[in-house]
Amino acid sequence: MAIRILGISGSLRKQSFNTALLKAARSVIPADCTFDIATLHGIPLYDGDLEQQEGIPPAVAALKDRVLGCDGLLLATPEYNNSIPGVFKNAIDWLSRPAAEIPAVFGNRPVALIGASPGGFGTILSQNAWLPVFRTLGVRFWTGGRLLASRAGGLFDADGNLVDERMRDQLQTFVRGFAEYCTGSAH
């Protein structure tokens, strides 16, 4: 049976480097894997009153179903002001509702991080900021590699295609390692 990986882009931008990085990851995924990409479009700001009055919004429910259907979660995180983008953290907060579903959605689920940034340090601080969130959610975080796509403007062409061969090789090694890690998943 094929390993199912879901990549989630933490950026809403149409020309997002992180979405482009996920598309490049999909192109180098091992043959025994499927790779789907999700964005955060349509997810409202978390509001406990909204949740109580209307339940889980449809965009959140749809993303949660996709997470529940995958064997591994690959998060492509931008870095805003040296940390996690609010829109991405907001989506994860919604996915953790109701709290009783956290073990099904996140518990022991293989998760890996990648990130692209126009800056020189990639997304190292954002990736580090995710660690306490992952601990809280109980994911099985893959520590077998780190992928930081620094100076992303030079890695992709105007159409969002990864054109840097060195980065493509790093991405392929990373994705293959994560796919192998997912084979031991309980999901």
- Beta partners for residue 76, in sequence order: 9, 114
Residue 187 lies inside a defined structural domain of this protein? no
Residue 136: phi and psi, rounded to 5, are -60, -40
Between residues 33 and 121, which one has the greater pLDDT?
Answer: 33
What band does 2 get if pLDDT is binned at 50, 70 and 90? very high
Print the domain residue range for 87: 3-182
Provide the 3-class DSSP secondary structure of residue 136.
helix
The CATH number covering residue 14 comes to 3.40.50.360
Helices and strands in the chain: count of H runs, count of E runs: 7, 6
The stretch 151-172 carries a mean pLDDT of 97
Residue 19 lies inside a defined structural domain of this protein? yes
pLDDT score, position 185: 52
pLDDT score, position 148: 95
pLDDT score, position 186: 43
Peptide bond into 98 cis (omega under 30): yes
Residue 17 lies inside a defined structural domain of this protein? yes
pLDDT score, position 184: 77
Domains of the chain: total: 1
